[in-house]
Structure 1
Amino acid sequence: MSKKLVVGISGNLTRPSKTKAFISQIAGETANRIGATSAIFDIEDFGPSLPTARRLGDLDPAARAIIEQLASADVLVAGSPTFKGSYTGLFKHLFDLLDPASLRGKPVILAATGGGERHSLLVEHQLRPLFGFFEALTMPTAIYASDKDFADGILVSEAIHARAQQAVAEVSRIVGAARAVSLAA
């Protein structure tokens, strides 16, 4: 039996990134909870072939390997920094390359970061519809963290930690339930 995989994908365009650190933390907690390994990626990891790709075959082999991990993951933790009230353009472009059925039924934790509270609905008004199009199974609890929730790039807000734990618990129940069904079959 192969080990479960949690993939975190961050739409950040710069490094270091609070968003990538945030996604890494959530994915790591999820992996620990369900006995999985985790792999964390950001837009930079896709390299120079992503911006010009019109289909998956246009991506270089390293970028295609990331897509394969994303598609085969047991859980996806997806998030983006807020850019002009939405996710970043290359984050959207990445998902534009995927087959619409590639994420069907996949458990997804949604997360985002931004400068202030006014962007907190990014997860509900932008990310949730994007993953709804793919028929992914987004967790009821989405997590948004603003600049005030971080100190030196590290999440320090207990309220945001608690919200993340709630999302991790939700996805753990889903993955555990799926595992129980497959064992019974």
Structure 2
Amino acid sequence: MGKLNLVVVSGNLGSPSKTLALAEQIVDAIGRLTPIETNIHQLAELAPAIGPARHPGELGEAGKTALRAIETANILVAATPVYKGSYTGLFKHLFDFLDPKALNETPVILAATGGGEKHALIIEHQLRPLFGFFGAYTVPSGIYATERDFDGTRFSDPIVLERIETAARQAVHAAQALAARQRQARAA
């Protein structure tokens, strides 16, 4: 298998961003395990292209490019800040443009950042059902990090770092297994 197509959707609405920093640490962990080609899409940059659109045909070129990247990912990293107990509306709006079968079996790493521990269940109660709708394979280890885990440039809490490494291993394993199944199906 060649390089994995790793696509990141970071729900950050500003810059600098703790959410983007977390997503980049996940990318680094995956890159230590296997060769990757990375494509990062930040909502802060995509907002003008996707915000006013009501259906995929109204998307600007940046929005269409992001959708094509998401649909062809070998691994998707979906990272969002927590706003009022959930992902941002713009984050959901982007995924609303996808065909319901677009992510079928695609390994997805779920990640979120928030101000405190009270929002940690966003992974299980908000993100996992969203990607379950698409038939994606959300890896078992989600990653939630708080402001106190952030040292100003990186997340350094040992538990967060362990979850990043575990999720990366799970996603790479799932992507490689899916690719092997697809090769076998084509050969049959």
Identify if the C-alpha distance between structure 1 residues 98 and 181 changes in structure 2 by more than 3 Å, giving closer, same or farther.
Answer: closer
User: 1:51-62 counterparts in 2 under 5 A?
Assistant: 51-62=51-62
2:66 equivalent to 1:69: no
What residue in structure 2 maps to residue 148 of structure 1? 148
User: Where does 1:93-104 land on structure 2 (aligned, <5 Å)?
Assistant: 93-104=93-104
Specify the SS of the correspondent of 1:52: coil
> Which stretch shifts more, 36-45 or 14-23?
36-45
135 and 14 in structure 1: CA distance in 2 versus 1, 3 angstrom threshold: same
What's the TM-score once normalised by structure 2's chain length? Answer: 0.92
- Displacement, 1:156? 1.1
Distance 2:75 2:47 in 1: 23
| Structure 2: distance between partners of 1:47 and 1:112 | 19
Identity of aligned residues (%): 43
| CA-CA distance at 1:27 after TM superposition | 2.1
Give the structure 2 partner of residue 16 of structure 1: 16
Deviates more, 1:138-147 or 1:42-51: 42-51
Could you tell me which runs of 5 or more consecutive residues in structure 2 were left unpaired when the two chains were aligned.
Answer: none
Deviations 1:120-149 (A, max 9, x none): 001110000000111110001101001110
Instruction: Tell me the distance in 2 between the aligned counterparts of 1:153 and 1:115.
Output: 16
What is the rounded CA distance, in whole Å, between the counterparts of 1:112 and 1:28 in structure 2? 17
Letter in 2 for 1:60: G
What is the CA RMSD across the aligned residues, in angstroms?
1.5
What is the CA-CA distance between 1:3 and the residue it aligns to?
3.2
1:175 Cα deviation after fit: 1.6
Q: Who is 1:33 aligned against?
A: 33
Could you list the per-position Cα deviations for residues 107-132 of structure 1 after superposition, in whole angstroms to 9, with x for gaps in the alignment?
A: 00000000000000011100000001
Count of residues in Structure 1 that have an aligned counterpart in Structure 2:
185
Query: Helix, strand or coil for the counterpart of 1:103?
Result: coil
* 2:139 aligned residue: 139
Q: Deviations over 1:45-94 (max 9, x none)?
A: 22413111111111111221121111101000001000000000100111
Contact 1:74–1:107, Cα closer than 8 Å, also in 2: yes
**Deviating runs (4+, > 6 A) in structure 1?**
none
Question: In 1, Cα distance between the equivalents of 2:37 and 2:130?
Answer: 25
TM-score by length of 1: 0.94
